[in-house]
Structure 1
Amino acid sequence: MTRLFDFLSAILGLVLLSPGLLLIAALIWLVDGRPVFYRQVRVGRGGRPFRIWKFRTMVVDADRIGRPLTVSGDPRVTRTGAWLRRWKIDELPQLINVVTGDMGFVGPRPEVPRFVALYTETQRRVLDLRPGITDLASIAYRNESDLLEGHEDPEAHYIGTILPDKIRINLDYAAKAGVWRNLKVILATLGLLAPERV
């Protein structure tokens, strides 16, 4: 039921948003150059790798010239990218990932292989879940870049504190997930509903 809802909603979303998506793609191309999209490898359900779709918000080869995390004020973020990130518009192309079945609307945000390799046996249970565009953890850590900025080693803080808490939130949520509850998470992500306490 959830997969059917995600598939049909993603198709509808791509159709309705296509004029805006084309406009954003053209803006990135004109202001920041090519490529328009960023295709990073993430780890999905069952530990299967896939490439996530995003509008490019950083300079080309940003992952080769800096850490895998983005903190506030990161100089690798482009002018257009800063605006796209602020409003989470860079995530909209992930509707393609929803259509292909790599992701759903609601589920744990998929991590890069580098971080997944550090999961404990208990934490690896999160890989039993289909990753999503949004989740309660993303809402709770919507200001993650700001939280990381104040740390001498942002990556160590992310791995040691933020990531385990995100996994905890997602495993707790999965035990009671359903279409209606997922819809409430989507509305909370859009700012149309108060998020659940985590």
Structure 2
Amino acid sequence: MRKWEDLPAYMRCDEVREYYDILNKKRLSILLKRIFDYVLGFLLLLILAIPMLIIAILIKLDSPGPIFYRQERVTRYGKHFKIHKFRTMVDNAEKFGATVTVDNDTRITRIGKKIRDYRLDEFPQVFDILSGNMSFVGTRPEAIKFVNKYEPEYFATLLLPAGITSEASIKYKDEAKLLQDSKNIDETYLYKVLPQKMKYNINTIRKFSIINDILIIIRTIFIVFGK
């Protein structure tokens, strides 16, 4: 944990202080979280190396464009980084529609649809975990334009690294379907969906522990396989 005075100015507010004090008392748990991420991340990289190679080849054969989708996102202490995800949409998809993707999005490629169904597009994020930009469990890394419109309390989620999964991710696993009928997808996400997700994200900080992280990972695995 950084010292309070070393946080970005926009995070040093009363709304964030409550959560900073909670996490500051759990420094050992935060250290164990990083060790857990690194060890599990390294093991997964060994296991997923060949499957990721196969997926990469299928993406290149299916549509023109890069293998990875590298949008800039925000993680701990407001750091910007480019996330690693397998590309599931046409190249330069952000130029042809909303930042948030819906279930019937015409920009999704044929192989991309299959990859998204089982969250295989998330596999390359193991590189972001090993680099320290992400964790297995944490608030999903948001696009900069959404973070710029955060309520003060939301910045508390930046006290920990962004994550691949979370309580909010589980509750809103069908987020794409919820947004597909919206006339303005980004606005609906920002003003209706995001505030609800943040309630779960903030609550997760309050009860942060390694055990809770592991339980969220297990629940996510069951959900991916339809249980």
TM-score tier, shorter chain, comes to over 0.9
Partner SS state of residue 105, structure 1: strand
Partners of 2:206 and 2:121 in 1: CA distance: 29
| Counterpart residue type for residue 132 of structure 1 | G
Task: State the match for 1:85 in structure 2.
Answer: 116
Query: In terms of Rg, which structure is larger?
Result: 2
- Number of positions where the alignment pairs a residue of Structure 1 with one of Structure 2: 193
* Structure 1 counterpart of 2:92, one-letter code: D
Of 102, 110, 118, the residue aligned with 1:71 is: 102
Q: Is the 8 A contact 2:65 2:90 kept in 1?
A: no
Q: How far did 1:192 drift?
A: 6.8
Instruction: Report the 3-state secondary structure (helix = DSSP H, G, I; strand = E; otherwise coil) of the residue aligned with 2:94.
Output: helix
- Structure 1: how far apart are the matches of 2:154 and 2:47? 37
Three-state SS of the structure 2 residue aligned to 1:104 is: strand
Aligned partner of 1:137 in structure 2 is 168
Counterpart of 2:73?
Answer: 42
Q: Distance in 1 between matches of 2:132 and 2:203?
A: 23
TM-score (norm: length of structure 2): 0.82
Q: How does 1:170-189 map to 2 (within 5 A)?
A: 170-189=201-220
Q: Distance in 2 between matches of 1:152 and 1:163?
A: 17
Give the TM-score of the pair, scaled to structure 1: 0.94
Secondary structure of the residue aligned to 1:190 is helix
State whether structure 2 residue 60 is matched by structure 1 residue 52.
Answer: no
Q: Hey, what's the Cα distance between the residues in 1 that align with 2:174 and 2:159?
A: 27
Q: CA deviation at 1:29?
A: 1.1
- The answer to which structure has the higher helix fraction is 2
Distance 2:208 2:80 in 1: 24
Whether 1:23 and 2:54 are equivalent positions in the alignment is: yes
Q: Which residue of 1 aligns with 2:19?
A: none
**Which has the higher mean CA deviation after the structures are superposed, 27-36 or 82-91?**
27-36
CA RMSD after TM alignment? 1.3
What SS does the aligned partner of 1:122 have?
Answer: helix
Residue of structure 2 in register with 1:7 after alignment: 38
Corresponding residue for residue 21 of structure 2: none
Do the aligned residues in 1 keep the contact of 2:85 with 2:122 (CA within 8 Å)?
A: yes
> How far apart are residue 34 of structure 1 and its match?
3.3
Unpaired segments ≥5 residues, structure 2: 1-31
Give 2:78's aligned amino acid. Answer: G
User: What is the deviation of 1:124?
Assistant: 1.5
Cα deviation, 1:79-103, whole Å, max 9, x if unaligned, reads: 0001111111001100100000000
Residue 185 of structure 1 aligns to a residue in which SS?
A: helix
Amino acid at match of 2:74: V
Shift of 1:127: 1.4
Deviations 1:7-44 (A, max 9, x none): 01001001011111111111111122331111110011
Q: Give 5+ residue unaligned stretches, structure 1.
A: 194-198
Aligned to 1:111: 142
| Equivalent position of 2:5 in the other structure | none
Structure 1 residue runs of 4 or more that deviate by more than 3 Å after TM superposition = none
